[in-house]
Amino acid sequence: MKTMNGHKTSKVLLNLLCILLCIVILAPLVWIILNSLKTNPELFKNSLSLPKAWRFDNYAKAWKLGLYRYFGNSVLVSTVSLCAILILSSFLAYGLTRFKAKGAGIIFVIVLGGMALSEQVALVPLYKMLKSLGIYDTYLAVILPYIAFRIPFTVFLMRSYFLSIPVELEEAAIVDGYNSFQIFRKIIVPISKPIFASCAIVNLNFVWNEFLFANVFLNNKAIQTIPIGLMTFKGDLRTDYTTTLAGLIIASLPLIILFFCMSKQFVRGLTAGAVKG
Amino acid sequence: MKTRKYVPYLYMLPGLLMVLSFVYIPVFMNIGYSFFRLSSYSAGAAFVGLDNYRRFFTDEAFPVMLKNNGLYCIISLIVQVGFGTILALIIESTSIAKKIKGMYRNIYFMPSLISLVAVGLMFTFIYDPNVGFLNALLKAMHLPGKAWLGDSNIAIYCIIAMSQWQFTGYIALLMCVAFQNVPEEYSEAAAIDGAGPVKRAVSILIPQAKEQLLVCSIITVIGAFKLYTEVYSTTGGGPGNSTQVLGLFLYQQAFLHDDLGMAAVTGVFIFVITVALSVLQLKVTNSGKD
Amino acid sequence: MKKGILKRAVGFTMACVMAISFVGCGGNAESGTASAGGGSAASTAAGGQKVIKFFHRFPDEPYNSFIEGKLHEYEKSHPDIKFDIMSAQNQDYKEKIKVVVGGDDTPDIFFSWAGDFTERFIRENLILDLTPYMDKDPEWKNSLLANQMSLYTNKDGMIYGIPFRLDCKQFYYNTELFQKNGIEVPKTFDDLLAACAKLKAAGVTPIAYGNSEPWAGLHYIGTLNQIFVPDDVRAKDYEPTTGEFTDPGYAQAMQYYQKLLPYMTENPDGVKPDMARSMFAGGQAAIYYGELIEIPYIKADGPDLKFGMFKFPQVAGAKGNQEILTGAPEGFVISSKTKYPQECVDFLKWFLGKDVGTEQCQKIGWFNAAKDTTKGLTDQSLIDGYKVVSEATQMSAWLDNALYSTVCKEYLEEVSNLTNGSVSPQEAMKKIQGKAKEAQTLVKTGKSSQ
């Protein structure tokens, strides 16, 4: 009886803790959303109050002020990078796991070692490299490094998923006369949808939000991505605060929506793929 | 699978080449750069030996950066990895109803989907002494406000707190996944033996998820020494140089002072320290096993 | 299994570093020169158009629209010209422009501050000398304000830029608050302190001040340096090859800055400069040390505010030059690598000339350096401000643009520390002296390597 009671109180306490944490996470976001719907003087007067009139036009203003262009660039850069990351990494992981090729171990070690190398360390030489390749200040200037820096972690995730796929499936396919690419396309990829979903979210999160490379390698306004665009909202001698807040929210929404739509797939990919024990 | 011998390498080659040419080669070139005095707009590249290193280690910002990156690293390990793991245990425990587990997990994960720049800008608002959320709250409770990011004694803690807000849920989700992978029979067997939830967590779940825990802590440590955007978008290193960190220092040396050699030295230092700490963590986990 | 691989991965990385770093060293010297060959800055687009790359630092509205509108207007009247526009905000701009200047894709026309900021590019021969063009066209030369053009002229007499917006720093004060508390416009520094004390006693924040971006504090220090350090000493110290900063006047300038701190907004290091201005505009503070270009902002934030302006008050017996009006115009320069120097000059002649200038001050409240642009301007405070700047006999480059970048960074940090109270003027100057000494050797090694 006593333990039952103890169990109950701890249950209540733990639930309370979880709710409290939700508040800690959500309160600043709610405050930001609230103030993004005010006028600047209202924000200055009392940032905790509700807006007198809900000014959704702040969002339209932020969008028109150039966010749409940054947004479009981000969509382009993210899509291209993401496709390349997924294709190259899944090829690499496929080559590593399904053939027992000589040297595969070393290749995996090399690729995985890339995880320990950070973007900062490569920044200056990359900058010089991109310049001498003539692609500095083009979309490629960020896309290529994004792909290269995301392959290691993606291969790491995909490899363990591929290892968990039973060999029998392939053997049946070989009997049917499939070549290795057909096996990859018709068997491995369909089975691996969850891990593709997980990798897509993880990488999209990186690419969509990446700031360092984008800041250094992109100068032309016409090709800059959203994080750079947000920094330009922070004016030099004058900042339009409420519009900036609206811009922040617009920039953050796509990924959050995407995640909530795909969260089940996302977790399943990671669960099935993780190396057991 | 039986195929021609070169076939697997065809699959591996493109990805491998990308990693080698855009990750490894720049990192090695960076080490070479660190011995030169280099500028991005003039032609000169003068060999200066170890002079860049001497300047780096005697720079007055050096101890400040060590302290700030170190603090960020330690606090992140405690909060993100430590508390994040506990949070994952709570979410995965029987105390939380199955239906709302996913909701908690997703809400905690959400901040990590917002870009660092956006979070940085948001928190400059939240910390603003005049209109910010924190001081407004304090004022509503009739407490004196603080300067937050404007106070050199606490500014770095404000930035660290912001990161904990953003990434604790990320680690918690990764650990949730790891705990879900532990076969339920293990826990059930322990429960039958009379082990309480805490004991089950310590003796079954955490050891089973040790690999994941290691990956999480390595990610966190490397992240702590890559720190850049969080500081760039909030204080820019100030007040004074009280929030200076290695990543920002590197950037400023390269693109504000046009001192690419000094930036390269900073890069080498970040590289050495992250690799060394990764090795150390592997060693510690290994020795625990014996 | 995974652990073993992680470990080997780390080991592999380390081994590679040892091996290839030597290769990296060898290959490096060449890559240094590779980036130097950039000859052509602009490229010719399809259809024989001349593409001019234009890099400015006003991405916020309404300035961005004004500038880009003017560029498009010029494209229409000159179908052979096409602009490729880039822009970045103040601090970003400072970093980015250094990255692109001197590379293969140098902008043809770009924004640049007067002072060492541009002169370090001149040292590398990256800036087009405008003197011959001006000599050829005296009418153009005479249409520009001489006192402003002098700031875009270096000590060898080379004209290297043309102002886009004039600027100067003055104190703005709330006339109602001054009257209500019986305060006269301060003439000396002691008057200012007395006025502040009176305001504070009356429960008013005397000076609105935000230093979260410490260039704001550097504007105070820059002015005080002029007051306390003789001209020739300052000129020598601001020049990176000879800078020492040993004159006691520098510490004195900081001490006077400290005297103002008790009368300023609380925790200025946490307050954004534009937030401070909003407080002044909203009547929450009586005085604001602001720039000419901020007048439209003050009006926007406080449409009912009545304000006047006064120059930085004098300090009796100080050894420096008290006649200087702090501030410098900001303008555009042309790359020496441009394919189309004449086209660029022609464009700037129009873009920074009288017609655009007249429209500019009415539309966005900023003046350029062309004479007689105020016709039709009705805003009295803008006219007052223009009078001060156009009649100034001596002006000075902003301190943060006058200094070598590492010295400047140290100065910014120390002013921020000073504001926080965590350092004394003497300690601050000691650190700045150290950086100045280092800068001397940096500039020299940079040069010897060419």
pLDDT tens string A237-261: 677 888 889 999 999 999 999 999 8
Q: Supply the pTM of this predicted model.
A: 0.85
C126 touches B: beta carbon within 8 Å: yes
User: What's the gap in Å between the CA of A88 and the closest CA on chain B?
Assistant: 5
| Exposed / middle / buried, residue C42 (Cβ in 10 Å: 0-12, 13-18, 19+) | buried
Q: What is the pLDDT along chain C (450 residues), one digit of tens a residue?
A: 444 555 555 555 555 444 444 333 333 333 333 333 333 333 444 457 899 999 999 888 788 899 999 999 999 999 999 999 888 887 778 878 877 886 767 899 999 998 888 988 898 889 999 999 999 999 999 999 999 999 999 888 999 999 999 999 999 999 999 999 999 999 999 999 999 999 999 999 999 999 988 889 999 999 999 999 999 999 999 988 999 999 999 999 999 999 999 999 988 988 888 889 988 998 889 999 999 989 988 988 888 899 999 999 999 889 999 999 999 899 999 999 999 999 999 999 999 999 999 999 999 989 999 998 888 888 888 888 898 888 888 888 888 888 888 899 999 999 999 998 889 999 999 999 999 999 998 887 654 443
User: What's the gap in Å between the CA of C91 and the closest CA on chain B?
Assistant: 9
Q: Which residues of A are less than 8 Å from C87 in CB distance?
A: 221, 232
In chain A, whose CA is at the least distance from the CA of C8?
A109
| Distances C39 to B40, C126, C336, C362, C450 between C-alpha atoms, Å | 15, 11, 10, 40, 17
Q: Which of C7, C28, C431 sits opposite B32 (nearest CB)?
A: C28
Do residues B176 and B142 make contact, with C-beta atoms less than 8 angstroms apart? no
Domain range for B81: 60-127+155-289
Domain count for chain B: 1
| Distances B36 to A132, B45, C102, C198, C233 between C-alpha atoms, Å | 19, 6, 19, 58, 33
**B259, part of any domain:** yes
List the subunits that have 3+ CB pairs under 8 angstroms with C.
A, B
**B144, part of any domain:** no
Q: Would the CB atoms of C89 and A232 count as touching at under 8 Å? A: yes
Q: Would the CB atoms of C25 and B35 count as touching at under 8 Å? A: yes
In chain A, whose CA is at the least distance from the CA of B40?
A128
Q: Would the CB atoms of C449 and B46 count as touching at under 8 Å? A: yes
Q: Would the CB atoms of C9 and A117 count as touching at under 8 Å? A: no
User: What's the gap in Å between the CA of C230 and the closest CA on chain A?
Assistant: 31
ipTM surpassing 0.90: no
B75: nearest Cα among B221, B210, B202: B221
Q: Would the CB atoms of C9 and A219 count as touching at under 8 Å? A: no
Which of B95, B173, B249 to probe by mutation at the A interface, max A CB count within 10 Å?
B95
Cβ-based contacts under 8 A for chains B and C: 180
Give the domains, in start order, of chain A with CATH numbers.
Answer: 60-273 (1.10.3720.10)
Do residues C328 and C163 make contact, with C-beta atoms less than 8 angstroms apart? no
Give the domains, in start order, of chain C with CATH numbers.
Answer: 50-167+328-386 (3.40.190.10), 169-326+404-448 (3.40.190.10)
Task: Provide the pLDDT for residue C8.
Answer: 57
Tokens read off for C412 = 């910014």
Q: What does DSSP assign to residue C156?
A: T
* A190: Cα separation from own chain's centroid: 22
B211 touches C: beta carbon within 8 Å: yes
**What is chain B's mean pLDDT, rounded?**
89
SS3 content of chain A, % helix, strand, coil (to 5): 80, 0, 20
**B42, part of any domain:** no
In chain C, whose CA is at the least distance from the CA of B32?
C25
Residue A199 has pLDDT above 80, yes or no: yes
Q: Would the CB atoms of A209 and B208 count as touching at under 8 Å? A: no
| Exposed / middle / buried, residue C238 (Cβ in 10 Å: 0-12, 13-18, 19+) | buried
Q: Would the CB atoms of B282 and C6 count as touching at under 8 Å? A: yes
User: What's the gap in Å between the CA of A25 and the closest CA on chain B?
Assistant: 7
Helix axes C341-351, C354-363, angle to 10 degrees: 50
Q: Which residues of A are less than 8 Å from B123 in CB distance?
A: 28
Q: Name the residue with tokens 């995730």.
A: A157
Q: What is the pLDDT along chain B (290 residues), one digit of tens a residue?
A: 556 788 889 999 999 999 999 999 999 999 999 999 887 766 667 888 899 999 999 998 999 999 999 999 999 999 999 999 999 999 988 888 888 888 999 999 999 999 899 999 889 889 988 888 899 889 889 988 888 998 889 999 999 999 999 999 999 999 998 898 888 888 788 888 877 778 888 888 888 888 889 889 988 999 999 999 999 999 989 898 999 999 999 999 988 888 889 999 999 999 999 989 888 888 877 755 44
B285 touches C: beta carbon within 8 Å: yes
Q: Which residues of C are less than 8 Å from A231 in CB distance?
A: 89, 92
Task: Provide the pLDDT for residue C108.
Answer: 94
Give the Cα separation of C150 and C132 in Å (integer). Answer: 16
Q: Which residues of C are less than 8 Å from A160 in CB distance?
A: 2
A11: nearest Cα among B197, B175, C166: B197
Q: What CATH code is carried by the domain that includes residue B223? A: 1.10.3720.10
Q: Going by DSSP bridges, is the β-strand pair B36-38/B45-47 parallel, antiparallel, or unpaired?
A: antiparallel
Which of C1, C3, C5 to probe by mutation at the A interface, max A CB count within 10 Å?
C5
Residues in A lying within 8 Å of C, measured between beta carbons = 44, 65-66, 105-106, 108-110, 112-113, 115-117, 127-128, 131-132, 134, 136-137, 160, 215-216, 219-222, 231-239, 275
B163-178 per-residue burial string, b: 16 or more CB within 10 A, e: under 16? bbbbbbbbbbbbbbbb
| Exposed / middle / buried, residue A166 (Cβ in 10 Å: 0-12, 13-18, 19+) | exposed
